[in-house]
Amino acid sequence: MDAQTAAAPESATGLTDEATIGGAARGLLATLSAAAGVIHLAMVPGHAGESTVEGIGFAVTGWAQLAFAGAVVLRPSRRLLQAGILGNLAVIGLWVWSRTVGLPVGAHSGEAESVSSIDLLATGMEAVLVVASAALLANPNLGRRLGQAGVVLASALAGMALVATSLALAAPSTRDHGHGESADAHDHGTGADATTVAVAADRCDLGFNPAAYWEETAIAGVDVIGGSSHGATATTGTDGHDHSTTAPAAATPSTTTPIQGSPELDALIAATAQEGGEVKDAQVVVALSDVSDDVYDNWLRWLPTYSSQAHATSSSGAPDDNGGHGGHLGPQPWVAMTDQAQCDQLAAELTRAREVALRYPTAADATAAGWFRVTPYVAGIAAHYMKFSIVDGTFDIDEPEMLLYDGDGPDAAMVGLSYYLIHNSDLEPTQGFTGPNDHFHRHVGLCIGAGGVIGDSTTTAEECAAIGGRKAGGTGGWMNHVWIVPGCESPWGMFSGASPLLDDTLAERSGTDGGACAGSGVRDRYDLAPGSASNTPPSVLGTPSEQAAPTP
């Protein structure tokens, strides 16, 4: 038997000689496995911080892939290649599972995660490794017979894998987040970057809004760290009071749970997106109160898409502030506050505002003190009572120009305040509460009659005249809502343009429900307890932290 014949059984039954697969082939397999392993290890901190199971899984996978890389260089064998194929197929399978229906374990059990380039890179290298290993098993001498062209190809693939991995790991989104860098990627509740995490952990403002607000913003994908859910660029005064002066861009949709469509959701979207002013927005608030909680949550997930389209067409200095409920339906942006002195100051100011509101528990009290009803009850924004003698261009916490009530009768209950300033500019006033989160809006072109507002901003001059009114300008009148009454805290934010609690059911029960928005048909939908670290979603906190709620 010659030497060639003697070598055949050994080649067919196992790869016991490291020379059986050439250096280029071994180098390619090792590079692919090592690169994928390094990526998995780089992801460990981002996942271990919120789920021990996920952290362990990424660590075990990464070290196993590094061990395979070393073994295939030092002592390749048939069993080693088989183990590599099975192991990497398992990793690929788990990745597909996590991106389709969601893994059944970990911090995000049952939640499908978004795909990112770093994921695709690691999975792609694992797939190439599986194919290459299978080819070597089918033809053990393939690696030795590749020839010069094969060596060049294997070396090129290995080099490309190293370069791609280095670039991916160097990206800030990978370093700071560890799992997806797209604007709408699932962020595992750790925030977008290291700065975001630091701000979230140090914030002192959770108690200014009810727990429901922070839950709503998490569903809707609203940024409550930088207040950029609409891409607003803020300007900061010496008193720390910020106001947006740049037209907003698109909000970042939530991708934690995909939108689940339904006929009810389609009808709700159509109602929200149709042209209209205050009446249309009021109809949307009523429609929201009539749908199930699931449909409502899916509307929240859809809302950023609508907001981005609406804001893209805005060119005014204060976008979308001239019609409807201040141009804002849904949870409003909020800039995280980390300065304890500012938080304390805002808490003191809100306490003063609440004391003012509670002095006038009913509409009869407001009328007796000099306020006059200027609008009927409108879902979302209530009935407005105005004191004309104090209307000027100065913000005074102790003298709100408007008081808001839950109905049109004298026994209607107080639900909030509205500060009204004369400011002849297309840029909103810089005055207001301490901090960057209260915003003024306008209602331009209302139809005014003898008893106040009798038509919304979309009423034409002809229509207004036909009902005995006249079209008002209103460009210089700026309003700032504050939902400060206990029980009537807005789930869309302390300073939101509208509140979903103010539905038609509340007006029907006005004067008979005891006040404090007890008659709202959707009150049970929202958690109106003060926000705190214990009832705020991780996506808002950025990182686990202990934080006592401020006492407004």
Q: Cα separation of 103 and 109, whole Å?
A: 6
Q: What is the share, in percent, of the chain residues with pLDDT greater than 90?
A: 44
The region that residue 516 occupies, defined by phi over 0 for left and psi between -120 and 50 for alpha, beta otherwise, is left
Say whether pLDDT at 529 is over 80: yes
Residue 193 has pLDDT above 60, yes or no: no
- Has residue 45 got a pLDDT over 90? no
Residue 130 pLDDT = 93
Instruction: Please give the distance of CA 346 from its chain centroid, rounded to a whole number.
Output: 24
Give the per-residue pLDDT at 111: 74
Distance of CA 97 to the CA centre of its chain: 24
Q: Could you identify the residue written with the tokens 């042209």?
A: 275
Question: Is the pLDDT at 63 greater than 70, yes or no?
Answer: yes
d(C-alpha 503, C-alpha 132), whole Å: 64
pLDDT of 38: 86
Determine the pLDDT at residue 76.
Answer: 86
Type of residue found at 247:
A
Mean pLDDT, all residues of the chain: 79
pLDDT at 473: 80
> What is residue 251's predicted lDDT score, i.e. its pLDDT?
38
pTM of the predicted model as reported, rounded to 2 decimal places: 0.62
Q: What percent of the chain has pLDDT over 70?
A: 72
Interval 408-433: pLDDT, tens: 999 999 999 999 999 999 888 999 99
- The reported pLDDT for the residue numbered 162 is 67
AA identity, residue 172: P
pLDDT (tens digit per residue) in 72-109: 888 888 899 999 999 999 999 998 998 888 888 776 66
* pLDDT tens digit sequence for 267-314: 999 999 888 888 999 999 999 999 999 999 999 999 887 765 554 444
Segment 402-408 mean pLDDT = 97
Tens of pLDDT, residue by residue over 113-126, are 777 777 888 898 89
pLDDT, position 347 = 96
Asked if 320 contacts 327 with a C-beta cutoff of 8 angstroms, the reply is yes
Task: Give the chain's length.
Answer: 552
Residue 490 has pLDDT above 60, yes or no: yes
Q: What share of the chain is helix, strand, coil (3-state, %, to 5)?
A: 45, 10, 45
Identify the band that residue 12 occupies on the pLDDT scale cut at 50, 70 and 90: very low
Mean pLDDT for the stretch of residues 129-143: 81
pLDDT score of 172 more than 90: no
